[in-house]
Amino acid sequence: MISLLINRITPEPLTEWRALRSPFSSTSDLEDTSHSEGMVMARGNNNNSELIDLEISTLTNLLKCCIKAKEYAYSPYSKFRVGAALLTDTGEIIDGCSVDNGSYGLSICAERTALVKAVSMGFRKFPAIAVTADLDEFVSPCGACRQFIAEFGLECDVYLVKPDLSYKKVCISELLPMPFTSTDLESVNLQRSSLFEGKFKD
Binding residues for Zn(2+): 109, 142, 145
Q: Determine the residue type at 91.
A: G
Residue of 12, 55, 111, 174 marked active site = 111
- Whether residue 108 contacts residue 135, with contact meaning beta carbons closer than 8 Å, is answered with no
47 CB-near residues (< 8 Å, 6+ apart): 153, 154, 155
- Strand pairing category for 39-43 and 82-87: unpaired
Going by the annotation, the residues of the binding site are 109, 142, 145
Distance separating alpha carbons of residues 22 and 2, to the nearest angstrom = 32
- Whether residue 127 contacts residue 22, with contact meaning beta carbons closer than 8 Å, is answered with no
Clarify whether 16 is annotated catalytic: no
93 CB-near residues (< 8 Å, 6+ apart): 19, 20, 21, 22, 30, 61, 62, 65, 85, 86, 87
Catalytic residues: 111
